[in-house]
Amino acid sequence: MTIRTAVAMSINLVAARLILEIGVEPVRAYAERMGIRTPLAHTYSIALGSSEVTPLDMASAFGTFATLGVHVEPTAIKLIKDRDGNVIKENIPRAEVVLRRETAFIMRSMLQGTTTGGTAARAGRTLKRPCAGKTGTTNEAGDCWFIGFVPQLCTSVWVGFDDHTSLGYNATGESHAVPLWSDYMADVLQNYPVEEFSVPEGLKLQRYVVCGDSGLLANPDCPHKVGEDFIDGTAPTAYCDLHGPGSRDFIAHDAALTAGQAAPEYGYREDEEQ
C-alpha cells in the first residue's frame, strides 16, 4: 500500500511503519517547525496520536501544507484602532519557510485524496470546491478530529470530552468531526471565490505512472495505474513486482532505465505520455 492510499483511508499501520523507518526525533522536529508547540512524547506511538495537541496547533501546522511550506504564526489580534480610525497597534504575523515547496506540494496532494475519495469525502461533496485534510480518531474514540483547508482558509475541528470519556464505539473523525467542519466551512466560504490549489512555477518534480499498489513503476499488467509526482532523484527505478506472470523478473524495453528517462510503453513519465 502506498502512503497516498494510507493517508486517504486512514490506514494507521502505514504511519506506524513509517515512523519506525525514519525515527521519532525527525518527526518531532518536523512537527515543531510546522507549528506544533505542544510538547510531543519521545515515543513511536506519536504516529498514532498518543500525544495531545491543541486544535490551534493543528490548524497552524496544516496551514503550512496549504502555503507550500511557509509557516505563519497564529495571531489573535491583527489590528487595533481608536475611535477616530487611527492605528494603535498592528500585528504582522511572522512567516518562515519550514518545508521544501516540493515536499509540501506532494503532501498537499495526498491530503486532497482524503476529501475526494477517502475518509473525508463528505467534505469534498459538501463544499464542491478543492479542499484537503486529514481525519483522526484516538483510542476508544476519546478524540475525533478533522483538520482541513482550502487555498484561503485552514480550520481544525476536535470533538471530545475533557476527561477522555469515549464518544461511543462507532465514533470516528469521519463520523463526528468531518460533518461539523463541512457545515462550518460551507457557511464561511460563501464569501470566498472557488480557487484551485496553486502549482507554482519552478517546482523540481517529475511525474511517473506507477502501480497504485506497490508504488513502483507500472508494468502492463498492473490493474491500478496512477500518476505520482516525485522530487528529483527520488522516483522509483524498479518495476512493479506484484502483478503479471514473472513480474519479479520483468525487464523494460530499456534495461538501463533510470529516473528521469521514459520507457516506450509503460513505467513512463506522464508528461511524455501526454
User: Per-residue confidence at 2, pLDDT binned at 50, 70, 90?
Assistant: confident
Q: Where are the domains of the chain?
A: 3-74+81-191, 204-274
DSSP code of residue 218:
P
Give φ, ψ of 148 to 5 degrees.
-140, 165
Helix (H, G, I), strand (E, B) or coil at 234: coil
Within 8 A by CB and 6+ apart from 271, the residues are 207
Cell numbers at 24, concatenated? 521519532
Q: What is the mean pLDDT of residues 19-40?
A: 95
Answer yes or no: is pLDDT of 255 > 60: no
The pLDDT, as a whole number, for residue 261 is 41
Architecture of domain 3-74+81-191: 3-Layer(aba) Sandwich (3.40)
Give φ, ψ of 205 to 5 degrees.
-130, 150
Of 31-35, 38-42, 218-222, least confident by mean pLDDT is 218-222
Cell numbers at 253, concatenated? 524495453
| Per-residue b or e along 76-88, where b marks 16 or more CB atoms closer than 10 Å to that residue's CB | eeeeeeeeeeeee
User: Which residue has better confidence, 256 or 125?
Assistant: 125
Strands annotated E in 44-142: 70-72, 79-81, 87-90, 95-97, 132-137
**136-166: per-residue pLDDT in tens?**
998 889 999 999 999 999 999 999 999 989 9
**65-92: per-residue pLDDT in tens?**
999 999 999 999 999 999 999 999 999 9
The pLDDT, as a whole number, for residue 254 is 34
